[in-house]
């Protein structure tokens, strides 16, 4: 089992006993019969020459290229499909994921605080695409949490070659944030809030996990409207079962304010388009994407008749001394 020793410098602000017990329980998931598909015993040997996390593609390159089909790297990466977040350029292998996550990162960069030497949490980090983008800013630590084995398997594949010592992935969930008390300088909480029953509780937990004066980036799907309200779908929204509240922008901001976050500001309010989310060879049919979730005769509504999703991104902070 991988150690949590990298968190020892912050132990005084962590419920250490419960976190270690959680770590042990989550690592046992890999022993399940259903987990075998995601467990990669060995990776093809490659020697990284350059790492470039500054552009749209998270890129690793080598001096003497090897055909990824010949050494098995292509097959290993395909075994871990579908790839939902990206894109990654792993030597000669272009992993064009369902989401062009660089679009979201470009929106964040407009209001990005200085990440150098910061302690950062990425909640629902998926395969770590954003963590690698953060790495170029030289943070002290980036902890990504996501309780999904395929996501860790994808992260481990990239990290096996990238070898970024300050990036760590754990199979923890948003519900485990209370184990951290005033640990993080910056928290990224993107595409998570609508998948859980208690949006304001998530923001309260974020505030408690932030150091005084810390910053949070909150991102969600949302619906058009000037008033402060949220759609609560009876069943599915855009074919997704696990959607609880889909807010207007003002409602989303009010959630943050109700959680006593301050300096709440809009970073982006954008249409969600098929340029940003679509089916690719790395997330192929029968998987579905944005196009499949919208009414083919009226893309302003979902297949269920709800308003089509927008993407809202806000930035907020925790009051100093709070």
In a 10 Å sphere around its CB, with 0-12 CB exposed, 13-18 middle and 19+ buried, how is residue 4 labelled?
A: middle
Which stretches of the chain score pLDDT less than 50? none
Cα 238 to chain centroid distance, Å, stands at: 20
Mean pLDDT of the chain: 97
pLDDT of residue 223: 98
CB half-sphere exposure, 24, CA atoms < 13 A: 6
pLDDT of residue 87: 98
Task: Report yes or no: 254 and 266 within 8 Å, Cβ to Cβ.
Answer: no
pLDDT of residue 65: 87
Over residues 111-124, the pLDDT tens digits come to 999 999 999 999 99
> What is the domain partition of the chain in residue ranges?
101-317
Residue with tokens 């800013």: 137
Please tell me the distance from the alpha carbon of residue 77 to that of residue 244, in angstroms, as a whole number.
33
- Residue 121: closest CA among 99, 102, 144, 104: 144
CA distances for 124 relative to 71, 168, 172, angstroms: 32, 13, 9
Q: pTM for this structure?
A: 0.97
pLDDT of residue 321: 79
Sign of CA dihedral 230, 236, 238, 241: positive
What CATH architecture applies to the domain 101-317? 3-Layer(aba) Sandwich (3.40)
pLDDT of residue 285: 95
pLDDT of residue 322: 65
pLDDT of residue 104: 98
């Amino acid at each position: 089992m991988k150690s949590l020793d990298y968190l020892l410098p912050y132990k005084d602000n962590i419920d250490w006993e419960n976190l270690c017990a959680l770590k042990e329980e989550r690592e046992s998931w890999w022993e399940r019969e259903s987990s075998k598909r995601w467990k990669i015993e060995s990776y093809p040997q490659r020697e990284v020459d350059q790492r470039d996390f500054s552009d749209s593609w998270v890129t690793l390159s080598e001096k003497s290229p090897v055909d990824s089909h010949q050494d098995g790297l292509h097959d290993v990466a395909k075994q871990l499909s579908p790839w939902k977040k990206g894109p990654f350029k792993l030597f000669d292998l272009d992993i064009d994921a369902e989401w062009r996550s660089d679009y979201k990162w470009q929106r964040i960069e407009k209001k990005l605080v200085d990440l150098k030497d910061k302690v950062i949490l990425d909640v629902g980090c998926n395969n770590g695409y954003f963590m690698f983008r953060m790495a170029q800013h030289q943070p002290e630590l980036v902890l990504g949490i996501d309780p999904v084995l395929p996501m860790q398997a994808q992260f481990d594949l990239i990290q096996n070659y990238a070898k970024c010592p300050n990036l760590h992935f754990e199979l923890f969930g948003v519900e485990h944030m209370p184990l951290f008390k005033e640990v993080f300088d910056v928290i990224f909480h993107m595409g998570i809030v609508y998948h859980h029953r208690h949006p304001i509780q998530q923001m309260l937990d974020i505030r408690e996990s932030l150091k005084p004066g810390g910053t949070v980036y909150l991102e969600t799907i949302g619906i058009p409207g000037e008033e402060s309200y949220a759609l609560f779908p009876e069943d599915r929204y855009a074919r997704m079962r696990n959607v609880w509240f889909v807010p207007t922008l003002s409602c989303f901001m009010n959630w943050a304010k109700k959680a006593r976050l301050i300096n709440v500001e809009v970073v982006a309010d954008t249409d969600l388009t098929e340029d940003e989310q679509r089916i690719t060879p790395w997330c192929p049919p029968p998987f579905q994407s944005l196009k499949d979730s919208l009414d083919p005769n009226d893309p302003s509504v979902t297949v269920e008749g709800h308003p089509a999703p927008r993407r809202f991104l806000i930035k907020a902070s925790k009051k100093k001394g709070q």
